[in-house]
Every structure is written in structure tokens, then in C-alpha cells.
Structure 1
Amino acid sequence: MKRISYYFLLFIVVFLQENCNIEKDKNIDDKAFENFNLAKDKNIDDKALEYFNAGKYEEAILEYKKQLPLIEKKYGKNDTTHYSKTLYDTGICFYYLQNYKKAIEYLTECNKVYKSINALQNEFYAKSCNDLGLLYKKSGSYEKAEKFYIESKNIYEKILGKEDPNYAISCNNLGTLYSIIGNYEKAEKFYIESKNIREKILGKEHLSYASSCNNLGYLYQDIGNYEKAEKFYIESKNIREKILGKEHPSYARSCNNLGLLYRKIGNYEKAEELYIESKNTLEKILGKEHLSYARSCNNLGLLYQKIGNYEKAEKLYIESKNIKEKIIGKEHLSYAISCNNLGGLYLNIGNYEKAEKLYLESKNIREKIFGKEHPDYATSCNNLGLLYDNIGNYEKAEKLFIEAKNINEKILGKEHPDYATSCNNLGNLYYKIGNYEKL
């Protein structure tokens, strides 16, 4: 019997400006897709695994789909050892192809197996609920994400107790969700609970505790408590340095995150120093043809754009975009971010033709990945609206601002900063064109 286990590391994208996307390395411990896959009778599974490890997810899906009828015939649809986990594995592959709809479909079928035999107080079922929560979160369906995260958390609490790493992960994931939708009070509560559990059962010199510090740093940065944010970022960075050393991706991420904070509070010298350290570390240990290195180029580019060094910014944005195109292709969210940021740079320097082309490309990719009812798509509408506003095409700008506003209201609610930004942009447009009645 062969078993595999791996952790999915998630990079979260947070919109900090109307026209720029920072790529944050947020170790949020979703613990999504920690896959347990059993070898099957005819080594079909070995072939699927081989494809998966090579990043050939479409081929892996074909192999898993071949397995399903054979497994169903041998073990039945109520089998939680083979059948349900093959459904789960197939969902993983769809996740990595960014086909969240199909991934949700397969994980939902996986959950149905457990429900059919009333085996809901089960650790794997709890994990599957957690993963569905992540998928719905990625898809922008935050109410459904909350439902599955809470279900996962409650099961872990019942079968493992509160002083367990899995329960701490569930608290952490709920904190992340509430942070995204702007419920910072709940986010803080769950992040602190997760951190306290980890401190108690793992100690302060543990990577999971460092991740909790990192996430609290993000939260306090988002709500403007920069002193607390700095404290937690530095604590996380120091733990990672002590455990892993300076030549490790996690240490590089801590440098990146602290750089984000210093950039936000206007300490550009410190931000540049940390961004460069992060970039150089990633280049040394991962090479230039790696997504993490591409992200570090993106963030350094954003800093140079902020301080008006457009030549350096353009060079780094293009480098980041080209790496992503080569290793993940054009239909990937991270590539869309590069298009968006390069578009924002060209908007700043008045190259509107290039800006429009890149903004449209980014918007189309996001629509394809997420659909129209997602905050990322709303951000693209907003950014394209800003471009048309700048060049005097007020009709197009108004249409896009309204679309962004409606999406943000529906998904995030009226008390979210992104909704406020949409209202502000629309208000500025109406003021500019003299339509004071709509203000």
C-alpha cells in the first residue's frame, strides 16, 4: 500500500491600490489538498501520480477518470478508502488547472460518500470540508466558504479537541476568510485563537507559530495598526531565520512581507532592501524560472513604480510577466496580475494604448477563471474604468465603475473598502462630468 502526502502552499493576492496588485506570500495554512492516495490493483494510480508529480494535471485527470468505474465496481460508491479519495484526487488536479467549478464538483461527490454512510465525524471528511471552503473562497463564494470552514472546525473540535493542530488550522482559515470580507474583529479573534493553540502545543519556535504571527501581521497591516503588524512580521521572520536559515523560501517570504509593510508606511529604503534580499534569496535557491522569483520581481517593480522609477519598474514587471508566461501560461491568475500591473504602469506614464491592451487581457483571464461575480474581476473592471476615465471615455468608464460597484456590493457588502473605492470612483466621475444629481 502506497501513500502520498503533500501540503498545498497558497499565495494570496490582496488589492492595495486601485490599479496595482501586490503578490503576497501568505502562509495561511489552509492545509488544502493534503492528499492521501492509495495504490490500486493495476498500478493505474501510479501512472496518475506520475503525471501529477510532473505537473501534467490533464493527463492525471484522464487516469483518475479511468479508475473511478473500476473502483466503483470493486468497492462500491459508499467506499471511503478508495472511491471517495479518487474523487478527491481528481478534484485536486482540477484545482491546479484553476478549474474551481470542477474541483468543487468532485470534492462535493467525495463528501457525499461520507454522508451516504453517515460518517461525518471523520477526519478526512473534515479535511474535505476545509478544502471545499478554500475552493469556494477562491471562487468568491464567501458564504459557502464560511459554511464549510465552520463545519470542518466543528468536526475537528469534536473528534480531536481544541488543542490540536488541525483545529488551529480551521481557526486560522476562518480568520483568513473574515479578513478578506472585511470582518476584522472576527478575523482577529480566530487568528489569535489559532496562534495561542500553536504556542501551547508546539511552542514559539515552530513554523506554524511563525505562520500565525505572519497572518496577524497581515491583519494589523490591513487595519492600519502598523506597530503591531511590524512586531508580528519581525517575530515571524526571526523564527524562520532561526529554524530554516536565510537561504530558504519561507525566510524570503518574511522579507517580502516586511517589505510590503514598509512600502505601505512610506519607508521605501527599508522596503527596497527587504525586497531585494527576498528576490536575491529566491534567485539563488530556486532560480529565475520560478513563480516565487517572478512574484518578487513583481513586488519590487511595484515599489519602484510607487517612487517614480518607472524604467526599473517596467523592466521588473516585464521580467515577471515573461517568466510566468513561460512556466504557467497565459491563462493563470498570476499572469493576469502581471498584465494588470504593467497596465497600471503604462496608465501612470500615459501610454494608454498599451495600458488598455494589458488591462483587457487581465480582465478576460479573470473572467475565464472566476466568472464575473468575483472581487478580482471587479478590480479589473475598476482599473479599466480608471483608464477610460483618464482618456475621457466617460460612458465606458461609468459602465465599468457601476459593474465593479455592483459586484463588490453583492459579494463583499457595503461596509467593505473595495465597495467604498467603487463608490468613490463613480462619484469622482459624476463630479467631473457635472452630473451632480447622481453624487
Structure 2
Amino acid sequence: MQTTSSLWEVLCRDFESERQVSRAQDCCEISKKFLSAARLVLRPDSARMGDALEIVGDVFQAAGEYVDAARYFEEARETAERLGALSSQARLSAKLGLLFERLDRHEEAIQRTREAVSLYESQRDFSQHALLLNHLGGIHRHLGDPAEAAQDYTHALEAATRMHGHNHPETATALNNLGVARMECQQYDEAESLHMQALGIREKTFGPMHPEVAQSMANLGVVYHAVGKYDQARAYYHGASQIYRSFRAEDDPELQNLQNNIAALPDHA
């Protein structure tokens, strides 16, 4: 007589074999059959049932079926919560935060992302902190609240610095994001300083001709444009354009945006 463990192993093996030779949409149907079979052999509040739900959620997410993916992840998260499996609950809350943002369910995205941050903190696991806090800041910016976003990005910068030090690309990302939020709050001096720091790290890490270097230069151009330092704005806009042209087509949105910014500068500047 087969044990639950061996039945689970057979289910997983058969599911993986079918999935490898199937299209994305077919994988969704295969995964639903896998889940139905799993429900027959696994206890509802077992770690493996949570694993099965997360596996199916991953398949639906990969297929772009975000509503269904969120439903499976939420059931898996609830299972992890009942089991007291904090690591699984944190991971699933983080996945749900990203999915809910894609679905424009912003309040749920904020709730689940904050939950993930809190759960990781409770386990002294700071590996995902900067990523999650940057995501949270992005939601608040999207909702038109740059002051709240700046708080999130400040915490993200602290987390990135604690985890990686002062000269790491993750730290530069947090500096960049905080600089954008400060710019939107019209805190121009601080925005300039943050973007300069990000630019220095990125040039040192990636070299002078890299898209992230171009991003920092473009953001500095925006700051100088806002405060009327048009010569400096033009120089940074042109520098960013030159880098982007090395990697992207002329109709690229970033290049188009830079060209529009340059065109908006006063002719005499």
C-alpha cells in the first residue's frame, strides 16, 4: 500500500513530466488536475497541500492568469498561516503583493507586502527587505503619495545598506527610488544628492555605458530642469540619450521621453 509521501512524489513526478511537454495554457489545465488529485491524497492543512497550491499558483501566474494565481496563492498563504509556517507565509504574502499590484488591487497589495516585511523581520531574514520596501514605495507613488513612498524608500535604503553595504547596485536602486520620490516632493537638494550617489555607485559597478547609469543621469537632468539649471539639465539629458542609443531603438519610450525633455528646455539655456 502506497504511503501519502509516495503518492505525493508520484503526483509531482507525473505533473512535472506533463508540464514540460505542454503549452502554458495546457499547463493550467494539467495543474488543476494535479491539484484535484492532491486534494484526494493530502490533508487540507498539511505543508504539502500548501506546496501544491503554490505550485499551481506559479503555473497560472506564468500563463498570465493572475486572478486565478492570486486565488491559489491566497489559499496557500492561509494554509501556511494555520500551520504557523512563517517562512512560507512570508513568501506567499510577497507573491500576492506583486500580483495584487498587477491587478490594480492596491490596498490588498499594500496589506500583503507589509505583511511579508513584518514576517521576514520576525524571522530576522532581511534578504528580501529592500526589494519588498521598494515595491511598497512604487505602489504609493502610483497612488500619488510621494511622501509615503519616500518613507518606504528610506526604509529600503536602510535595508539595502545593512544587507549589501554602501556601494552595491541594490543600494543604488534604493537611492535612485528615494531620489525620485524626493523630486516629486519638491525636495530638490536632497533629490540631487541621492541621484549623484546612485550615479557614482552605478558608474563604478557597471562602467559609464550602462542603462542604469543612463537612468541616474536622466533623473539628474529632471532635477536640474526643475530648479532652472538648464545647462546642467541639457548635459545630463544628452549623456543619458547617448547611452540609451547604444542599446535601444530610436522609438524607445525612454529615449522619446528624453527628447521631449530636451525640447522643453528654453532655447537660450
Aligned to 2:264: 306
Aligned to 1:328: none
Displacement of 1:149 in angstroms is 1.6
Aligned to 2:77: 114
Aligned to 2:97: 133
CA offsets 1:65-85 (integer angstroms, 9 cap, x no match): 132134224433853334422
* Aligned pairs (5 A) from 1:40-439: 41=15, 43-47=17-21, 59-60=23-24, 62-76=25-39, 79-94=49-64, 102-116=65-79, 118-119=82-83, 121-161=85-125, 164-284=126-246, 286-288=247-249, 294-307=252-265
Displacement of 1:160 in angstroms is 3.2
Could you tell me whether the CA contact under 8 Å between 1:275 and 1:296 is conserved in 2? no
Structure 2 residue ranges without an equivalent (≥5) = 1-11
Could you tell me whether the CA contact under 8 Å between 1:75 and 1:83 is conserved in 2? no
CA offsets 1:387-410 (integer angstroms, 9 cap, x no match): xxxxxxxxxxxxxxxxxxxxxxxx
Residue 158 of structure 1 aligns with an amino acid whose one-letter code is S
CA offsets 1:40-60 (integer angstroms, 9 cap, x no match): 655443346xxxxxxxxxx52
Could you tell me whether the CA contact under 8 Å between 1:278 and 1:296 is conserved in 2? no
Displacement of 1:86 in angstroms is 2.8
Find the residue that maps to 1:246 and give its secondary structure.
coil
1:232 to 1:135, Cα distance in 2 relative to 1, 3 A: same
CA distance in 1, matches of 2:84, 2:55: 15
Q: What RMSD, in angstroms, separates the aligned Cα atoms of the two structures?
A: 3.0
CA distance in 2, matches of 1:152, 1:238: 31
Count of residue pairs brought into register by the alignment: 248
Displacement of 1:198 in angstroms is 2.0
Displacement of 1:265 in angstroms is 2.6
Find the residue that maps to 1:160 and give its secondary structure.
coil
Displacement of 1:112 in angstroms is 0.3
Could you tell me whether the CA contact under 8 Å between 1:126 and 1:156 is conserved in 2? yes
Residue 142 of structure 1 aligns with an amino acid whose one-letter code is H
Displacement of 1:196 in angstroms is 1.8
Could you tell me whether the CA contact under 8 Å between 1:136 and 1:145 is conserved in 2? yes
CA distance in 2, matches of 1:178, 1:287: 29
CA distance in 1, matches of 2:135, 2:60: 23
CA distance in 2, matches of 1:246, 1:272: 18
Find the residue that maps to 1:266 and give its secondary structure.
coil
Could you tell me whether the CA contact under 8 Å between 2:202 and 2:213 is conserved in 1? yes
Aligned to 1:377: none
CA offsets 1:234-260 (integer angstroms, 9 cap, x no match): 101110111111222222222222222
Higher alpha-carbon deviation: 82-91 or 230-239: 82-91
1:41 to 1:68, Cα distance in 2 relative to 1, 3 A: closer
Residue 108 of structure 1 aligns with an amino acid whose one-letter code is R
1:294 to 1:209, Cα distance in 2 relative to 1, 3 A: same
Aligned to 2:5: none
CA offsets 1:146-189 (integer angstroms, 9 cap, x no match): 2112211121112234xx12133333333333344454554333
Residue 116 of structure 2 aligns with an amino acid whose one-letter code is S
CA offsets 1:363-415 (integer angstroms, 9 cap, x no match): xxxxxxxxxxxxxxxxxxxxxxxxxxxxxxxxxxxxxxxxxxxxxxxxxxxxx
Residue 57 of structure 2 aligns with an amino acid whose one-letter code is L
Could you tell me whether the CA contact under 8 Å between 2:244 and 2:255 is conserved in 1? no
Residue 117 of structure 2 aligns with an amino acid whose one-letter code is K
CA distance in 2, matches of 1:219, 1:134: 20
Runs of 4+ aligned residues of structure 1 deviating over 6 Å after TM superposition are none
1:185 to 1:255, Cα distance in 2 relative to 1, 3 A: closer
Could you tell me whether the CA contact under 8 Å between 1:142 and 1:177 is conserved in 2? yes
Residue 91 of structure 1 aligns with an amino acid whose one-letter code is Q
1:47 to 1:302, Cα distance in 2 relative to 1, 3 A: farther
Residue 174 of structure 1 aligns with an amino acid whose one-letter code is L
Q: TM-score, normalised by structure 2?
A: 0.77
Determine which structure has the larger helix proportion and give its number.
2
CA offsets 1:312-337 (integer angstroms, 9 cap, x no match): xxxxxxxxxxxxxxxxxxxxxxxxxx
Displacement of 1:200 in angstroms is 2.2
CA offsets 1:174-218 (integer angstroms, 9 cap, x no match): 333334445455433332222122212210111111111111101
